[in-house]
Amino acid sequence: MILADVIGTVVSPVQIPVLDGRKLLLLKPVSPSGESAGQARIGIDTIGAGVGDRVLVIQEGNSSRQVLDEPQGAVKTVIVGFVDEVEMAGEIVFDHANS
């Protein structure tokens, strides 16, 4: 799993059936303290996230297929949770309430 910030939305009028009716979001991976940590990617939203949210993302096909209940789905990146707070070594490095 990774942490990511939602930085945009993606609209695709032609797509595979497993994506029909699902919201696609543009994600920027971040470190626990919020620094950029990789290239942007597209994820399938399962929680109602939007631009500006920090989210928890699955980056593995089998787990993603299980979350979506799509055993044959060609999926890898799925948003599964909102991040309210990140704590490292007893110190809060991200707090949604103060971001």
What CATH number should be reported for the domain holding residue 28?
Answer: 2.40.50.220
> Quick check: 46 and 25 in contact, CB under 8 A?
no
Domain count for the chain, please give it. Answer: 1
Q: What is the pLDDT of residue 99?
A: 76
Q: What is the pLDDT of residues 36-72, one digit of tens each?
A: 999 999 999 999 999 999 999 999 999 999 999 999 8
Q: Judge whether residue 85 has pLDDT over 90.
A: yes
> Quick check: 62 and 19 in contact, CB under 8 A?
no
pTM for the whole thing?
0.92
Q: What is the pLDDT of residue 83?
A: 97
Q: Judge whether residue 75 has pLDDT over 80.
A: yes
Q: What is the pLDDT of residue 18?
A: 87
Boundaries of domain holding 56: 2-98
> Quick check: 43 and 27 in contact, CB under 8 A?
yes
Residue 16's nearest CA partner among 66, 80, 76 is: 76
